[in-house]
């Protein structure tokens, strides 16, 4: 595998942004990491960070490069600050950047990366788990499958609980009036209901959360909502809290589920 650190300019955000990229590379005689290369139509996984993190967290705190070596995929790890993968009220369009501009930048720089739906995936933890699910529900035509680990998947409900994490002004800066979030394009449950009603094909969805995680109830709630709406998905739980010990283990399970046929 090749590991690349890049600074690129985002026209959407009007600033330099950082990326880390893992690309398949033909390697031999590297103990435990030999892998096959690819020249075109490489499947791509957009791997999103959580609050307090950035583009480097997955590489620093897990063995993600080793975990993906046998799948022959590219991994794109962007940094989106504390923007919640949302076009914020303070005019930083993190949603537009991640969902529209970032894939174009990556294909421009690495044309061997596929742009086909069946080869495009997203995953993330916490805030990034919310972002991955949001990509699936708002851009279902672009993604084959997503993995959400400990995701804030019921954003829009019980917003007052978020004040324990950051103040009200912060959340209003991201989402606008908080009493309107539940019926907005930033609420996964609302998006899910609209997507089901539209009849469009829904990407495969995998949710996982630790039973000691403060977001466990939210993930159970989304699982139950998906069951009620008859949305095919996989929900798994196990011992664990909102930490890297859980995410390091469960990203491996998520990858195995996501690429079971590869």
Contact of 74 with 46, CB cutoff 8 Å: no
| CA separation, residue 106 to residues 8, 39, 94, 155, 254 (Å) | 10, 15, 16, 29, 23
Residue 37 has pLDDT above 70, yes or no: no
User: Considering only CA atoms, which of 78, 75, 59 is closest in space to residue 127?
Assistant: 78
Q: Of all residues in the chain, what percent carry a pLDDT higher than 90?
A: 89
Tokens of 221: 């709630």
Give the integer Cα–Cα distance in Å for 79 and 83. Answer: 10
Instruction: Please state, as a whole number, how many other Cβ atoms lie within 10 Å of the Cβ of residue 92.
Output: 21
Question: How confident is the model over 22-51, as a mean pLDDT?
Answer: 80
Report the C-alpha dihedral over residues 92, 165, 128, 148, rounded to 10 degrees.
Answer: -150
Tokens of 149: 């680990």
Query: Can you list the alpha helix ranges (DSSP code H) found in the chain?
Result: 57-61, 64-68, 94-96, 102-109, 127-138, 168-175, 188-198, 216-228, 244-258
* Strand arrangement of the beta sheet that strand 234-238 belongs to: 2-10, 15-23, 74-78, 44-48, 120-125, 145-149, 204-210, 234-238
Q: Give the 3-state DSSP-derived string for 5-46, with helices as H, strands as E and coil as C.
A: EEEEEECCCCEEEEEEEEECCCCCCCCCCCCCCCCCCECEEE
CATH code of 56's domain: 3.40.50.1820
Residues with Cβ within 8 Å of residue 258, at least 6 apart in sequence: 45, 121, 123, 145, 147, 204, 206
Residues with Cβ within 8 Å of residue 136, at least 6 apart in sequence: 122, 143, 145, 146, 202, 203, 205
Give the integer Cα–Cα distance in Å for 118 and 51. Answer: 29
Question: How confident is the model over 114-126, as a mean pLDDT?
Answer: 97
Range of the domain at 181: 2-258
Taking only the tens place, the pLDDT of each residue in 221-257 is: 999 999 999 999 999 999 999 999 999 999 999 999 9
User: Considering only CA atoms, which of 11, 209, 184 is closest in space to residue 174?
Assistant: 184
Low-confidence winner among 77-91, 148-162, 185-199 (lowest mean pLDDT):
148-162
If one compares 121 and 25, the residue with the highest pLDDT of the two is 121
Taking only the tens place, the pLDDT of each residue in 48-92 is: 999 999 999 999 999 999 999 999 999 999 999 999 999 999 999
Residue 31 has pLDDT above 90, yes or no: no
b (16+ CB within 10 A) / e for 96-129: ebbbebbbebbeeebeebbeeeebbbbbbbbbbb
Contact of 195 with 141, CB cutoff 8 Å: no
Q: What is the pLDDT of residue 35?
A: 56
If one compares 229 and 32, the residue with the highest pLDDT of the two is 229
Report the domain count for the chain: 1
Q: Of all residues in the chain, what percent carry a pLDDT higher than 70?
A: 95
């Amino acid at each position: 595998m090749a590991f690349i650190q890049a600074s690129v300019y985002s026209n959407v955000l009007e600033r330099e942004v950082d990326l880390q990229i893992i690309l398949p590379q033909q390697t031999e005689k590297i103990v435990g990491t030999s892998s096959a290369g690819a020249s075109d139509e490489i499947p791509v996984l957009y791997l999103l960070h959580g609050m307090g993190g950035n583009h480097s967290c997955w590489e620093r705190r897990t063995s993600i490069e080793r975990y993906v070596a046998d799948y022959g995929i590219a991994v794109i790890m962007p940094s989106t600050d504390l923007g919640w993968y949302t076009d914020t009220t303070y005019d930083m369009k993190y949603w537009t950047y991640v969902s529209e501009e970032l894939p174009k930048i990556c294909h421009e720089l690495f044309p061997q990366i596929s742009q086909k739906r069946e080869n495009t995936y997203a995953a993330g933890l916490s805030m990034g788990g919310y972002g991955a699910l949001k990509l699936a529900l708002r851009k279902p035509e672009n993604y084959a499958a997503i993995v959400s680990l400990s995701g804030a998947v019921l954003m829009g409900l019980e917003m007052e609980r978020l004040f324990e994490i950051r103040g009200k002004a912060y959340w209003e800066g991201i989402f606008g009036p908080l009493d309107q979030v539940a019926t907005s394009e930033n609420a996964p449950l609302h998006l899910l209901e609209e997507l089901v009603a539209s009849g469009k094909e829904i990407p495969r969805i995998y949710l996982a959360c630790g039973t000691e995680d403060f977001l466990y109830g939210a993930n159970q709630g989304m699982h139950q909502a998906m069951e009620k709406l008859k949305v095919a998905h996989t929900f798994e739980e196990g011992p664990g809290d909102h930490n890297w010990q859980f995410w390091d283990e469960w990203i491996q399970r998520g990858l195995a589920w996501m690429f079971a046929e590869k």
